[in-house]
Amino acid sequence: MDVGIRITNLRKVYTAPPPAAAQVRGGPMTGVKFFKRPDKKKYEVVALDGISLEISPGEIFGLLGPNGAGKSTTVGVLTTRIRPTSGDAWIGGFEVWRERVQVKRLIGVVPQKPNLDFALTAREMLTYHAAYFGMPAAERARRSAELLDRFQLSDRADSLASGFSGGMMQRLSIARALMHDPQVLFLDEPSTGLDPQTRLLLWELIRDFNQRGHTVMLTTHNMDEADALCHRLAIVDHGRVIATGTPEELKRSVPGGFVVRLQFDRVSDELAASLAQIQGVTEVQRPPEGGLDLYADRGGTLIPHIVSASAAAGATISDVHISEPSLENLFLHHTGRSLRR
């Protein structure tokens, strides 16, 4: 069965603080815009501001953006845990909010932080999970043993999960999400807090799941992860999609590809104009936090030209940072802000 995901003009506006169980972790608040009307003192947080996405069956799709961009809220809506304010979300042929039970049969969810059932052993957690999905007992036993083995948890299979390390919990979370053989896997910030070795294992498991024709949606604020793992990406910020495409396409869309971030003792229009004249520089932006960002087709070899142009304009450079073509630059280009704040 080929199951894709479609989201049309999805909005989520909180008019009261979200309940803890549905709250998205990792960020300060999912919140993006606060409107405090002095007359009403009404709480209103726009978490999703009209997101539309189309994810094909069998794709690994990434939502990339800073904390609070709306990534986890999007996943929350798609996994039936958050009620959208307006707009549609479909998984396969099911409208998510109206056909929650059918949708839940199709999806596996790995939350941002493990929400394991600590009263149970690792093996029980898998077998009870499968029992919720109506899997016969013999198959539950076989499949749980197989997954525990594949996720390198066999030696602790019959211990309570409360003593597990972060990496083990994360692996168990993924094993549990795969237990009922879902068609679509959601992973919310799957590699946060994982050591590099476990992260590689995780990537391998995700690719493996995907190679069997299943769809994967993951959120991340890690550029390398998005670049290495995802077939296509959507860059989100403030509850909106800023750009979509393959990692390659997105990186190519940044003018020049390279970014030279410069700090000066003072910035003038004259300075910006003269830097824009340098050959190879495609665009000069003034980011909100000060300095100038040069988008260019090369990096280090521009420095002598920048230094002389600056000196001619009477400005002194206090800091230079060169970054090569990356998703980071793309985010910077679209928002004027760095992802790694």
Q: Which residues bind another protein (CB under 8 A)?
A: 14, 18-23, 73, 76, 79-83, 100-102, 104-105, 107, 109, 111, 113, 115-120, 124-125, 128-129, 131-134, 176
DSSP string covering 254-323: SSSSEEEEEEES---HHHHHHHHTSTTEEEEE--TTSSEEEEES-SGGGHHHHHHHHHHTT--EEEEEEE
Taken as a whole, the chain contains a residue count of 341
Structure tokens belonging to residue 258 = 């390279």
Q: How far is the CB of 22 from another protein (least distance, A)?
A: 3
Angstrom distance (rounded) from CA 78 to CA 61: 14
Name the minimum Å distance from CB 205 to another protein.
19
Residue closer to another protein, measured from CB, 129 or 232: 129
What is the torsion angle, in degrees rounded to the nearest 10, for the CA atoms of residue 64, residue 68, residue 71 and residue 72?
Answer: 140
Nearest distance in Å: CB 5, another protein: 16
* Residue closest to 217 by CA, chosen among 326, 6, 59: 59
Q: Supply the minimum distance, in Å, between the C-beta of residue 304 and another protein.
A: 54
Find the shortest distance in angstroms from Cβ 131 to another protein: 4
Q: Report the largest interatomic distance among the alpha carbons of the chain, rounded to a whole angstrom.
A: 79
| Cβ atoms within 10 Å, residue 228 | 13
The CB-of-150 to another protein minimum distance in angstroms stands at 20
Instruction: Kindly tell me which of 33 and 266 has the beta carbon lying closer to another protein.
Output: 33
Shorter beta-carbon distance to another protein: residue 15 or 197: 15
Residue number, 16 or 212, with CB nearest to another protein: 16
> Closest distance between another protein and the C-beta of residue 288, in Å?
31
- Distance CA(302)–CA(299), nearest Å, equals 6
- What does the alpha-carbon distance between residue 167 and residue 303 come to, in Å, rounded to a whole number? 43
Nearer to another protein, 74 or 329 (CB): 74
Of 103 and 281, CB closest to another protein: 103
Closer to another protein at the Cβ: 6 or 100? Answer: 100
